[in-house]
Amino acid sequence: MIGKIALEGLEFHAFHGVYPHERESGNFFRVDIIVETDFTTAAIHDDLSGTVNYETLFQIVKEEMEQPSKLLETVAEKIILHVLEELPAVLSVDLKISKLNPPIGGKCTRSSVSIKKER
């Protein structure tokens, strides 16, 4: 049974951005991540080892969000590659990273980058 596991609305204060002030003072970011996996074994046996532990998934996102990058595209790619490397049961990753109140010279709630990658 192929299913999806999602962590939605993860919030981080991080130091991503092209401009020096973004990399110095940081900004707030929201991350949504969905992974596809086969959790037949977990469902039948009520056993965490048969699925993706979302605590591990959170730790991967957190680790990568702590590494400053200029572009959200770079951060997203690093998160996805880390997930696919660390969690072999993951069949695909769908990720969205949003920068809240981006410095664009006008009112904007968030800017976002979305990437989906299959194994």
Q: How far apart, in whole angstroms, are the C-alpha atoms of residue 94 and residue 51?
A: 17
Q: How many CB atoms lie within 10 A of CB 47?
A: 11
pLDDT digits (tens, 9 = 90+) for 73-105: 999 999 999 999 999 999 999 999 999 999 999
Asked if 36 and 26 touch (Cβ cutoff 8 Å), the reply is no
pLDDT in tens, 9-44: 999 999 999 999 888 999 999 999 999 999 999 999
Active site residue 78: no
pLDDT tens column, 39-79: 999 999 999 888 999 999 999 999 999 999 999 999 999 99
Distance CA 106, CA 116 (A): 29
Tokens 């609305």 sit on residue: 9
Out of 4, 70, 96, 99, the active site residue is 99
Q: What pLDDT score does 49 carry?
A: 87
Cα separation, 18 vs 76, in Å, equals 15
Contact 12, 28 (CB under 8 A): yes
Q: What is the pTM of this model?
A: 0.93
Q: Walk me through the domains of the chain, giving residue ranges and CATH numbers.
A: 2-118 (3.30.1130.10)
